[in-house]
């Protein structure tokens, strides 16, 4: 190397590895400059070290502030990046350099801390990765002599050291090796790795010529997602806290069992977030935005009409559902139910006319309303997704509104049947209802078909189809008892059983659909989302990026079946540009809207926690 370089600049030259790089460079005839935040000589030198320490130019500089050192790079023929942290808690460096309670210092940096209180200036992504990018960009800007650039990477992690350490080193390798991948670059020379001077488990990755970096400086964009997202790995292995069915059944305390069942639901939600982000969809979105406002990666039409990285489709696949196939299933379920209801309606008309049973008349009314409900839900489902100038975000609330309207219709209808049943009981003819074999067969077949419809529709997660499932459940109960009450009346020769049974059936339907109506009224008027929804979204925000230092004004509330999300995220890294903040905030917004229960998300950006709320009311 001595024939290639004369002036070498070592960043972090007073550190454990840096000082040995400086020493070795001097022994091979280099002029050595060390740049560090303190500008001081290394601590704890051996007696032999004082022979070479005086020959190094120890200089103070901040790698994130190029103005403090760029003049040192102008004449450099080689630059070494030897800055890094093993732990994001910097206490361990104090322990290494302390003569006091080292055990206490070491214990302190293994303590678990709140992930939202992470020091944004001492993270793996900031120190191990981003600093290398800043140095490389500065070197390109000030030195036209094509100097060598060396980054101290790592071969492997260490026991007890988080995986974020090795991940951040691998990401920063891109500064020196991202562009080769075995290809010949820079006039036929490849990036290489050389042994480091003190033989610990690190390697020195070096680029011998920056020609290609000058030509392809925009390709540093490929490292931008890693810089903005950071290590942001999952907080825990949630599955170790999950209780299976056997463990739950062994819990005799009902309240304790209910607690763990609730915890299992939340763990399932957290695992969904981990699947989404582990797929790298947030990295893909940031990469799609790009760094050059004039780039032609996406046409204006694509950017306007489609989300970045097809997050709507790819996110759904990561979570295990396909929105397009889901819409097709919904339409199919509606049409199948519609056909079945027509056939059952015709059968019940025959039974009601032949028996004159009030219980079966109530069941007939229910079938007529089934037919009407299918028409209402079909119309609402078809119109919900259509956008226009009059409805710029579509009419998704038309679905729960249609269910609400139907619940009112069915309640009023059964109030009329209830009234007729009471009149029949008090003042009607006291005759026992008779059932024919044909009537019995039709009613039994109706029950079997409705059981099939209920099981099928219950497994389709859509409000319209769920309404059909509720309706099928009502039909099962209704048809079962509408045939039981006449049979009981016949067996015990009691004329009043049929009318009394009809009254009970009407009360059952009115109470059931009344509760459904109140639920949809609450959702349409802005009720809070469930705590499972709340915690799943909050975890997604926490995991999304290391750049998010705080979260505030977090709200989740219903706008129909789906929910809206409002959140303020705080960025406190002064090196972030407006485009960085925009791309991160909007990508987070897209990621949250990927969740199937979210209709709209609004991410607001802030730079401090205590600030105005942003709304008048």
Q: Which of 12-21, 66-75, 256-265, 478-487 has the lowest mean pLDDT?
A: 478-487
Q: Is the pLDDT of residue 274 over 60?
A: yes
Q: Is the pLDDT of residue 181 over 50?
A: no
- φ, ψ (nearest 5 deg) of residue 111: -70, 140
pLDDT (mean) for 424-446: 79
- φ, ψ (nearest 5 deg) of residue 74: -60, -45
Residue 378 to residue 385: CA distance in whole angstroms: 12
52 or 88: which carries more pLDDT confidence? Answer: 52
Q: Is the pLDDT of residue 186 over 60?
A: no
511 and 558 housed in the same domain: no
Residue at token pair 């509330």 = 557
Q: Is the pLDDT of residue 93 over 70?
A: no
* pLDDT band, very low/low/confident/very high, at 277 (cuts 50, 70, 90): confident
User: Given phi > 0 = left and psi -120 to 50 = alpha, else beta, which region is 44?
Assistant: left
Q: Which of 250-264, 308-322, 386-400 has the lowest mean pLDDT?
A: 308-322
512 and 541 housed in the same domain: no
352 and 443 housed in the same domain: yes
Share of the chain above pLDDT 90, in %: 19
106 or 591: which carries more pLDDT confidence? Answer: 591
Q: Give a yes or no: residue 93 inside a domain.
A: no
465 and 394 housed in the same domain: yes
What DSSP designation does 569 have? E
Residue 13 CB neighbours (<10 A): 30
What DSSP designation does 97 have? T
43 and 149 housed in the same domain: yes
360 and 462 housed in the same domain: yes
Q: Is the pLDDT of residue 282 over 90?
A: no
198 or 6: which carries more pLDDT confidence? Answer: 6
85 or 460: which carries more pLDDT confidence? Answer: 85
pLDDT tens profile 540-584: 999 999 899 999 999 999 998 889 999 999 998 888 889 899 999
Q: Which of 29-33, 126-130, 163-167 has the lowest mean pLDDT?
A: 163-167
* pLDDT band, very low/low/confident/very high, at 407 (cuts 50, 70, 90): confident
Q: What is the CATH number of the domain that holds 586?
A: 3.30.70.1350
Q: Give a yes or no: residue 104 inside a domain.
A: no
pLDDT tens profile 203-251: 455 443 444 444 444 444 456 787 888 777 778 888 899 999 999 999 9
pLDDT score recorded for residue 9: 95
Share of the chain above pLDDT 70, in %: 75
Cβ–Cβ under 8 Å, residues 212 and 180? no
180 or 614: which carries more pLDDT confidence? Answer: 614
Q: Give a yes or no: residue 186 inside a domain.
A: yes
Q: What is the CATH number of the domain that holds 505?
A: 1.20.1510.10
151 and 41 housed in the same domain: yes
Domain boundary among 262, 281, 297: 297
Q: Is the pLDDT of residue 109 over 50?
A: no
Cβ–Cβ under 8 Å, residues 434 and 489? no
pLDDT score recorded for residue 159: 53
364 and 496 housed in the same domain: yes
132 and 198 housed in the same domain: yes
pLDDT (mean) for 51-70: 91
- φ, ψ (nearest 5 deg) of residue 262: -65, -40
pLDDT score recorded for residue 617: 66
pLDDT (mean) for 425-451: 81
Domain boundary among 229, 264, 286: 229
Q: Give a yes or no: residue 149 inside a domain.
A: yes
Q: Give a yes or no: residue 524 inside a domain.
A: no
Q: Give a yes or no: residue 508 inside a domain.
A: yes
Find the DSSP H helices in 545-577: none
Question: Chain-wide mean pLDDT for the chain?
Answer: 76
User: Could you tell me which of 78, 83, 66 has the C-alpha nearest to residue 207?
Assistant: 78
Q: Give a yes or no: residue 1 inside a domain.
A: no
265 and 376 housed in the same domain: no
**How many structural domains is the chain composed of?**
4
Domain containing 565 equals 531-606
117 or 490: which carries more pLDDT confidence? Answer: 490
Which range, 115-119, 413-417, 460-464, 467-471, has the best average confidence (pLDDT)?
A: 413-417
Q: What is the CATH number of the domain that holds 34?
A: 3.40.50.720
Q: Is the pLDDT of residue 599 over 60?
A: yes
* pLDDT band, very low/low/confident/very high, at 528 (cuts 50, 70, 90): very high
What's the distance, CA 52 to chain centroid? 54
Q: Give a yes or no: residue 112 inside a domain.
A: no
pLDDT score recorded for residue 557: 95
155 or 355: which carries more pLDDT confidence? Answer: 355
pLDDT score recorded for residue 441: 83
361 and 453 housed in the same domain: yes
Domain boundary among 455, 486, 516: 516
135 and 283 housed in the same domain: no
């Amino acid at each position: 190397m001595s024939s290639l370089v004369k002036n070498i600049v070592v960043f972090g030259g007073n550190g454990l590895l840096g000082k040995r790089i400086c020493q070795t460079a001097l022994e091979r005839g280099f002029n050595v400059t060390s740049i560090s935040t303190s500008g001081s000589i290394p601590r704890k030198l051996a007696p032999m070290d004082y022979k070479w320490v005086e020959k190094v130019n120890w200089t103070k500089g901040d790698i994130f502030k190029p103005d403090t050192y760029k003049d040192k790079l102008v004449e450099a023929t080689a630059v070494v990046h030897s800055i890094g942290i093993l732990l994001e808690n910097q206490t361990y460096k104090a322990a290494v350099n302390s003569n006091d309670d080292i055990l206490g210092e070491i214990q302190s940096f293994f303590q678990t801390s709140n992930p939202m209180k992470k020091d944004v200036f001492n993270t793996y992504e900031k120190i191990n990765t981003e600093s290398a990018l800043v140095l490389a960009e500065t070197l390109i800007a000030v030195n036209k002599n094509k100097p060598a650039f060396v980054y101290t990477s790592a071969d492997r992690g260490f026991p007890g050291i988080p995986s974020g350490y090795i991940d951040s080193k691998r990401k920063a390798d891109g500064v020196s090796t991202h562009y080769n991948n075995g290809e010949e670059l820079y006039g036929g020379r490849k990036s290489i790795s050389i042994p480091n001077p003190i033989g610990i488990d690190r390697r020195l990755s070096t680029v011998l010529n920056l020609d290609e970096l000058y030509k392809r400086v925009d390709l540093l964009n490929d490292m931008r997602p890693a810089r903005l997202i950071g290590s942001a790995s999952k907080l825990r292995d949630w599955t170790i806290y999950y209780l299976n069915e056997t463990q739950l059944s062994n819990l005799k305390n009902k309240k304790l069992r209910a607690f763990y069942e609730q915890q299992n639901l939340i763990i399932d939600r957290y695992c969904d977030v981990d699947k989404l982000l582990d797929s790298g969809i947030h990295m893909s979105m940031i990469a799609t935005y790009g760094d050059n406002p004039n780039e032609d990666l996406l046409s204006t039409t694509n950017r306007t009409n489609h989300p970045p990285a097809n997050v709507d489709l790819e996110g759904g696949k990561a979570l295990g559902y396909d929105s397009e196939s889901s819409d097709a299933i919904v339409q199919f379920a509606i049409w199948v139910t519609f056909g079945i209801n027509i056939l059952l309606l015709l059968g019940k008309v025959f039974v009601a006319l032949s028996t004159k049973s009030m219980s079966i008349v109530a069941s007939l009314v229910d079938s007529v309303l089934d037919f009407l409900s299918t028409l209402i839900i079909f119309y609402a489902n078809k119109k919900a997704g259509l956008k226009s100038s009059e409805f710029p975000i579509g009419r998704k609330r038309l679905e729960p509104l249609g269910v609400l309207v139907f619940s009112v219709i069915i309640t009023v209808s059964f109030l009329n049947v209830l009234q007729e049943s009471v009149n029949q009981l008090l003042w009607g003819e006291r005759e026992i209802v008779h059932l024919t074999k044909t009537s019995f067969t039709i009613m039994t077949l109706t029950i079997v078909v409705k059981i099939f419809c209920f099981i099928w529709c219950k497994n389709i997660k859509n409000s319209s189809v769920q309404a059909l499932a509720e309706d099928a459940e009502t039909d099962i109960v209704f048809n079962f008892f509408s045939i039981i009450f006449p049979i009981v009346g016949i067996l015990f020769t009691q004329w009043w059983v049929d009318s009394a049974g009809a009254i009970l059936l009407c009360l059952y339907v009115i109470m059931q659909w009344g509760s459904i109506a109140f639920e949809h009224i609450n959702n349409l008027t802005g009720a809070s989302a469930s705590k499972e929804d709340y915690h799943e979204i909050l975890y997604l925000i926490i995991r999304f990026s290391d750049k998010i230092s705080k979260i505030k004004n977090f709200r989740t509330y219903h706008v129909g079946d789906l929910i809206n999300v409002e959140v303020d995220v705080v960025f406190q890294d002064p090196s972030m540009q407006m485009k960085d903040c925009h791309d991160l905030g909007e990508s987070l917004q897209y990621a949250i809207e990927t969740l199937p229960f979210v209709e709209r998300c609004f991410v607001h950006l802030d730079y401090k926690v205590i600030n105005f709320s942003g709304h008048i009311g």
